[in-house]
Structures are given as C-alpha cells and as structure tokens.
Structure 1
Amino acid sequence: MKTELDLTTGGANMARRSFLRYAGTGAAAVAVLGAASCKKDYSERSNSNDIGSGDMGVLNFAYALEQLEAAFYLQVIATPYSGITTTETAYLTDIKDHEVLHRDFFKTALGSSAIQALTPDFSKINFSDRASVLGAAKLFEDTGVRAYDGAGYLIQDTNYLLIAGKIVSVEARHAALISNLITPGSFVASDQVDANGLNYSNTIAEVLTAANGYLKTKVTAPNFQYYA
C-alpha cells in the first residue's frame, strides 16, 4: 500500500448539524442501525480487538480507523506544528470535527458490538513539524478512503452501505485537501486515483497492517483474512 483552538461551542454545533444533515447520520439513522444490530445475536465486544464478522465486522473496521484518525487530529489541534497558519488551523480543525463525529457515530451505532477504545501510538510522528504532520495526515486519509472502497462490497445491509458511502465521500474530500496542502494545486494525486479516475482500494488485512503501526492496541480481523 502506498504511504499516507477547538472551535467555539456554536461553531462546533454548526459543524455537527451540517454533518448530520448531509451525511444522514442523525438520531434516526443511529436508531435504524442500532435496531438492526440488536436483532442479531452479537457477543459483547467491549474487551476485544477482533472486529468480528459480517456487517458488524465491517462497521467495527471503520470504527477502528475513525478512532485512529480522531485521535490524530485531536493531537494536531492540541499541539499545533511550528508555523501553522490560520487557514491551516481552520482546515485541520474542520477535519478533526468530522473525524470525531464519525468515531462517535460508529460507537453509538455498534452499541455492545463495538470493539474497545483503542490507544494510539504516534511516536513516529513529529507533531511540531509541518511535513511530518501533513505526511501522516495524508497517510491516514488515503488509507481511510482505500479502506472504505475496499470493504464496501462486503456490506450486506443497504442502510449500512448508504452511510458508509456518505462517510467515504467526506474522507475523500479530506484526502484531497491534505494533498493540496502538501502540494498546492494537486488535490487528487496519481497515488490516490488510477488512470480511470477511480479511487485505489485495499483489503481489510492490508489496511490493518498499516493502521496497527500507529496503534498500541492492535486490531485483528481473522474472519476477513480470505477476502481479497
């Protein structure tokens, strides 16, 4: 796989309302997903790093990645890199808000089927250095897009598929923005889309190999190891 100031209360609320409106993950959507998961006999997963199987497994896969991304951007905003501009702060704060919303949505939707809270390992990232931070951001965003595109076909429930499709569209916007911050005017680089203008994708196993490099709490997916 190829390598990738908090807002005021009013601003954060506006960001939340905007996301819920456009991504369709408001209370009604959470209720639909939660009700669907309750109909199945899922074991308590709060102390497990195994994402499980079926649709809940794919959602846990997404939840793990969103936990990692949210933790990363929370750190970026808490300890801004040297020379960060007002515009960069605004962009990265918006992305942080989106990732926190994604993380919290999956946690609520999964309920007792959710994997445990993960502990990140950002020792490879120099948060005081712009190149290090944006390089990590690109890795996380590009990996996120590849992950959703690579696992989407495994989702059986159309409600889950709809939500995943909306969230990956937001992740792709993040990836384009980060790419442009690194190389102005690039937006969508050749390592993000193929010759047909389609996003690259990776398997669950490939994505977790990359993600686990930034997690102290390793995530496993034994039920998906045969999916290519």
Structure 2
Amino acid sequence: MPEASSSTAPSGLSRRTFLTHTGVAAASLLLLTACPDPETPPVVTPTISLTGGDEGVLNYLFLLERVATELYAKVLATPPAELTAADLGVLRDIYRHNFIHRELLQLTMSANGFTANAGISAQSFDYASFTLTTRLGVLNAAQSLADLTVAAYCGAARLLSSGVLLRLFVKMMAVKARHAAALRDLRTPGSFAATDVVPQTGAEAGLNQVLTPAEVLAELSKFTSPVQLSVGSLPTS
C-alpha cells in the first residue's frame, strides 16, 4: 500500500506551482487592500441665493409675501372652529392684501426688466413649527410673520437705489404695520406693540425694529428646509 504523502500541497500541484499560486493570491489580496475605498460623494445642500441690486431686494420681499400669503391660504382653507367671524374677516383682509402685494412685486420686477428667482417661485413651505389648529396658534403665527415682515421691509428700504421703488415700498410697509397692529389687537384687545418689536433704548428707540436680510432669511429658512436661503449678492447698505 502506498504511504500517505505528508506534503501540504494540493494533489496534482507541485510545491513550486502551489507556492506560485499562493504568491499570486497574496499579491492580489495586497493590491485589493491597498486600493482606497470609493469616495462618498459630498452632500450638497440645495440653496436659493439672491442676486444683487434692486432685483435682489424685490425677490427677497417676494419670498416674504409668498410665505405670508400661503400661510393665510392654508389657515382659511381649514380654519380652527375657535376663530370667530371677526377673526376670519381680519384674516381674509390680510390674505387679500398679501396676495395683492405678492402679485404687485412680480409685476414690478417684470416692468423693470428684472428676473424673478425661479427657486423662490417654485419653493413650497412647511409651517409645522406653527400650531394652526387653535385660534391662539393661528394668531401667534400670523403675528410673528407680520412683525417679521414689517422689520424686513424697514431693513430692505435702505437697500434700494430707486426712489420710485422706495416710495412704493413705504406704502406697502404702512399696510404691513396695520396688519401687525390688527393682529395684536385680536390677540389682546387694546394692546400696543411691545419691546419685542419697538426698541426702548438705543438710536432706534421708539421706532419699529429693523432686521437685515440675513436675519430675516435665517428665520424664513425653517419654512423652506432642507432648502437654505442665502443673501447671495444682495446689497448690505
């Protein structure tokens, strides 16, 4: 009977052939481990950036009007049962004014040869940060947007280079201020703007709060997430 072989080489392979195959396999393994893992593509955050000049300012305020108009449309489509007839009357009036302002800004951009920002025109808004199922929640939401809009208009007016546009904005801003006052009176009858919107100290004491576009866009970004809002080339002074 033939003795069993003590060789560890596979049957049919010489030791030299076996070692050659082993060496090739080891080299292949080394080559594979030396190859870097495929790079994970960077995450790109979608961003809406504003252009410069009066065109950028108009688009900025158009965004504000869209956010406000669609909030009121959402509330009026399914109003909380707690809202009174008087509440609904005020909310409808404000909705109509905001709608007119939104369309007016679009027409003004077109008349001046400006380009409406496609991202702003197509953007949808998420109002989950508001409670829109109760009267107080609706009024709080409307109040916060009204105050933000007034402060935004105050900050944007100084950025305009056109005197014609400035006069238009001042008229629109006066309407926005009346909206804020009417909403505050619905929440607390007989109340007046408090220190949160009318500073009591400093150079602007007694005047309405003024917010820069960067400050306003930071607030509006919670309605556009995951899309971020950037001042881009918008003028700062």
Q: Is the 8 A contact 2:75 2:132 kept in 1?
A: yes
**What is the aligned partner in structure 1 of residue 169 from structure 2?**
164
**What is the aligned partner in structure 2 of residue 89 from structure 1?**
88
Pairing of 1:1-228 with structure 2 (within 5 A): 49-111=48-110, 113-116=115-118, 117=121, 118-195=123-200, 196-216=205-225, 217-224=227-234, 227=236
Q: How many residue pairs align between the two structures? A: 180
Structure 1 window deviating more from structure 2 (196-205 vs 213-222): it is: 213-222
Query: What are structure 2's unaligned runs of at least 5 residues?
Result: 1-46
Q: Tell me the TM-score normalised to structure 1 length.
A: 0.74
**In structure 2, what residue type is equivalent to 1:74?**
A
Partner Cα distance (2:127, 2:49) in 1: 22
The residue matched to 2:233 in structure 1 has which SS? Answer: helix
Q: Is the 8 A contact 1:180 1:186 kept in 2?
A: yes
The residue matched to 2:170 in structure 1 has which SS? Answer: helix
Q: Is the 8 A contact 2:62 2:102 kept in 1?
A: yes
Q: Among the aligned pairs, what percent are the same residue?
A: 33
The residue matched to 1:49 in structure 2 has which SS? Answer: strand
**In structure 2, what residue type is equivalent to 1:189?**
A
Bigger Rg over Cα: 2
Instruction: Tell me the CA shift for residue 184 of structure 1.
Output: 1.4
Structure 1 window deviating more from structure 2 (124-133 vs 144-153): it is: 124-133
The residue matched to 2:191 in structure 1 has which SS? Answer: coil
Partner Cα distance (1:51, 1:107) in 2: 15
**What is the aligned partner in structure 2 of residue 35 from structure 1?**
none
Deviations 1:41-97 (A, max 9, x none): xxxxxxx83221011111111000000000001111111123110000000000000
Instruction: Tell me the CA shift for residue 126 of structure 1.
Output: 2.4
Query: What are structure 1's unaligned runs of at least 5 residues?
Result: 1-47
Structure 1 window deviating more from structure 2 (97-106 vs 118-127): it is: 118-127
Instruction: Tell me the CA shift for residue 188 of structure 1.
Output: 2.2
Distance change in 2, residues 1:218/1:108 (3 Å): farther
**What is the aligned partner in structure 1 of residue 9 from structure 2?**
none
Q: Is the 8 A contact 2:69 2:95 kept in 1?
A: yes
The residue matched to 1:147 in structure 2 has which SS? Answer: helix
**In structure 2, what residue type is equivalent to 1:192?**
V
Partner Cα distance (1:124, 1:153) in 2: 31
**What is the aligned partner in structure 1 of residue 42 from structure 2?**
none
> Which stretches of structure 1, 4 residues or longer, exceed 6 Å deviation after superposition?
none
Q: Tell me the TM-score normalised to structure 2 length.
A: 0.71
Partner Cα distance (2:155, 2:168) in 1: 15
